[in-house]
Amino acid sequence: MAKTVQERINHYLEDTIGAERNFEKALRTFGKTGEQTTVQSLLSSASAKAKTQHERLEALLKTRGGSPSESKTILAEMLAFTPLSAQLGQGAAEKNTQHLMVTFAAAAAEMAMYESLATAAAEGRALDVVSLARTLQGEERDDYAQVWDILPQSAAASFQAELEKGKSAEEVLARYLEDAIAAEKSFETQLLGFSEESEGSTVQALFRQHAEETKQQYTQLTQRLEELGGSTSTIKSFLAHMFNLAPKIAQIGHDKFERQTQDLMMAYAVENAEVAMYESLAQAARLAGDGRTHELARQIQQQEKQTAEKVWAQIAPAARRAIQAVPEAA
Ligand SMILES: [Fe+2]
Ligand SMILES: [Fe+2]
């Protein structure tokens, strides 16, 4: 494990480079899939941007005496893109919408990653790193905003495309509800795991409360699904697949403050994935004229937004504590 502050920050840079490389590859694939050309071109340009980002990070790391490692890093492991492509939904248009949800979550993860990097670097007086981290964070925020702008339209078009294939609105909505229920169940497990790791802190209470709320969410969703004549399936939803929900092994060697920062980054990504998932559900329910499902989707989406904000507020303090815990910085 990195010993000095300089080495730690270089290690974070390596992590970030690994993540950007991963995103570049995933986004390139997303840009070639499906039928919604607006989505494809946005994701292709995000891929090109990710490439210039890891190149800039690599150049900076070099000036700091480090070199990019070949080993897979925690942040790259965090969003498991590869198995996702195999899990994706039925329609070509739905694939595009799902890729937007994934990219929205990935952009959120990267905003969180740069928040942590910039904070740690400021604490370690590495002003060159602070400056690049803030620049790249701004670029991620742009991606995040652009994805959000086209998501409602993409979701509505996907739903419409399913209806045109002869499926009933109830049938498609029921499938979306099943997806959401499966995702919520795996998020509950994950939140409980994070809360165990954050013994006795504000962060622990935050994770525990949201695990409780998550349980209420899937209970309400299940009730709505049953009202629509569906029943919960055992199929894992694509969103549950998107996150590598057992990152513990990769985290060995990180100290407790670093683990907490990583858990928070991951939680921020998950909450944003949920915000996007409920946007898609709300759009479909609105088109179907299903007021009850629409209302439920908006209500849960609001809870996810609020949780995302609370999680965000904890990232910088956690990243700062990780650097303060390094003996020479004390
Ligand atoms: Fe949730
Ligand atoms: Fe959530």
Report how far ligand 2's centroid is from the alpha carbon of 275 (Å).
8
Q: What is the 3-state secondary structure (H, E, C) of 126-158?
A: CHHHHHHHHHHHHHHHHHHHHHHHHHHHHHHHH
Quote the pTM value. Answer: 0.92
Q: Within 10 Å of residue 123's Cβ, how many Cβ atoms?
A: 20
- pLDDT tops 70 at residue 234: no
Report how far ligand 2's centroid is from the alpha carbon of 63 (Å).
40
Report how far ligand 2's centroid is from the alpha carbon of 37 (Å).
30
- How large is the average pLDDT for residues 96-121? 94
Report how far ligand 2's centroid is from the alpha carbon of 300 (Å).
8
Long-range contacts of 36-43 (CB under 8 A, 24+ apart): 36/93, 36/96, 36/97, 36/154, 36/157, 36/158, 38/150, 38/153, 38/154, 39/96, 39/97, 39/99, 39/100, 39/150, 39/154, 40/96, 42/146, 42/147, 42/150, 43/99, 43/100, 43/103
Closest alpha carbon to 105 in 272, 236, 320, 292: 272
Q: Quick one: DSSP state of residue 90? A: S
- pLDDT tops 90 at residue 38: yes
Q: Give me the percent of the chain exceeding a pLDDT of 70.
A: 85
Report how far ligand 2's centroid is from the alpha carbon of 195 (Å).
14
Q: What pLDDT does residue 26 have?
A: 87
What pLDDT digit, counting tens, does each position of 288-309 carry?
999 999 999 999 999 999 999 9
- pLDDT tops 80 at residue 281: yes
- How large is the average pLDDT for residues 60-89? 68
Q: At what angle do helices 127-164 and 256-288 cross, to 10 degrees?
A: 30
Report how far ligand 2's centroid is from the alpha carbon of 306 (Å).
9
Q: At what angle do helices 169-197 and 256-288 cross, to 10 degrees?
A: 160
Q: What pLDDT does residue 249 have?
A: 45
Q: What pLDDT does residue 116 have?
A: 95
Which ligand minimizes its atom distance to the CA of 307? 2
In this prediction, residue 51 has a pLDDT band, given cuts at 50, 70 and 90, of very high
Which ligand minimizes its atom distance to the CA of 267? 2
Report how far ligand 2's centroid is from the alpha carbon of 116 (Å).
21
Q: What pLDDT does residue 194 have?
A: 87
Helix, strand or coil for residue 79?
strand
Which ligand minimizes its atom distance to the CA of 180? 1
Report how far ligand 2's centroid is from the alpha carbon of 265 (Å).
13
Report how far ligand 2's centroid is from the alpha carbon of 269 (Å).
10
Domains and CATH numbers, the chain: 5-329 (1.20.1260.10)
Which ligand minimizes its atom distance to the CA of 268? 2
Report how far ligand 2's centroid is from the alpha carbon of 183 (Å).
10
Report how far ligand 2's centroid is from the alpha carbon of 326 (Å).
32
- How large is the average pLDDT for residues 261-268? 91
Q: What is the mean pLDDT of the chain?
A: 88
Q: What pLDDT does residue 83 have?
A: 43
Which ligand minimizes its atom distance to the CA of 207? 2
- pLDDT tops 70 at residue 287: yes
- pLDDT tops 50 at residue 86: no
Distance between CA atoms of residues 119 and 290, nearest Å:
45
Which ligand minimizes its atom distance to the CA of 272? 2
Report how far ligand 2's centroid is from the alpha carbon of 305 (Å).
8
Report how far ligand 2's centroid is from the alpha carbon of 221 (Å).
14
In whole angstroms, what separates CA 303 from the centre of its chain? 16
Residue 160 structure tokens? 């419409």
Q: What pLDDT does residue 34 have?
A: 86
